[in-house]
Amino acid sequence: MAGNTYKLYGRANAGSLAPQIVLEEIGAPYEMIWVSKAPADVAVLRQVNPTGKIPALVLPDGTPVFESAAILIHLTQAHPAANLAPPAGSTAHARFLQWMVFLSSNVYESCLRTYYSERYSTSGPAAATEIKQQAAADYAHYLELIHGALSPYVLGENLSAADPYLYMLAGWYPGDVAALQARLPKLVQHGELLRRRAATRKAEQAHSKG
């Protein structure tokens, strides 16, 4: 691996989309490594991320990092000239961290409960159904909360790494998308703004082929 090149382990239409968008926004060189759910591929991934989950990022010095929020926050600090986060220690940076953790611990978590509800109970399909229903309600509620902050981006007028993260997670919403969009017009505008960006288009094109 070249001295300044990242390696991003990902899967199509999955959690590697936001880190890939941010890498494109930064303009940092990276190698995309697509990982299927085949046991052999997952075994290789576990050498980088012991949880066997994507995304995982290998830094230019060979250090592996996993967890989407950690990857995104690190990239903003490693490439401050990209202006994808406010200066560390500032009030604006505190808000940035707040929303990054909110997206990770609430929106992403409710997404996982929605799509993998059977993992959250040992009581069979009936419990899984109830878990999924509550998770979907939580998912919509958390999107409503961050919707209130959009102006038009998460931190106001300036794009940050929180925006590709929100864009990715909002795109996975499994419920009545039309009804959600009618309630959350600023979230619709946010998605439109992100889709206009070259970094988003390039990453989504890669995911459509990956």
pLDDT tens digit at each of 210 positions of the chain:
447 899 999 999 889 999 999 999 999 999 999 999 999 999 999 999 999 999 999 999 999 999 999 999 999 999 999 999 999 999 999 999 999 999 999 999 999 998 888 888 887 777 888 898 999 999 999 999 999 999 999 999 999 999 999 999 999 998 888 999 999 999 999 999 999 999 999 999 998 876
Q: Are 103 and 147 in contact (CB under 8 A)?
A: no
| CA–CA gap between residue 171 and residue 106 (Å, rounded) | 15
Chain position carrying tokens 């790494």: 161
| CA distance readout (Å), 151 to 112, 145, 190, 194 | 27, 13, 9, 13
| CA–CA gap between residue 44 and residue 190 (Å, rounded) | 36
Could you give the 3-state DSSP secondary structure of residue 153?
Answer: strand
| CA–CA gap between residue 210 and residue 31 (Å, rounded) | 13
Between β-strands 64-66 and 56-58, what pairing exists: parallel, antiparallel or unpaired?
antiparallel
Alpha helices in the chain (DSSP H): 17-26, 39-46, 68-78, 91-102, 109-115, 125-147, 162-170, 177-183, 185-195, 198-209
Q: Which tokens hold the place of 70? A: 């950690």
pLDDT the model gives residue 39: 94
pLDDT the model gives residue 126: 76
Residues in the chain: 210
pTM of the complete model beyond 0.85:
yes
| CA–CA gap between residue 15 and residue 35 (Å, rounded) | 12
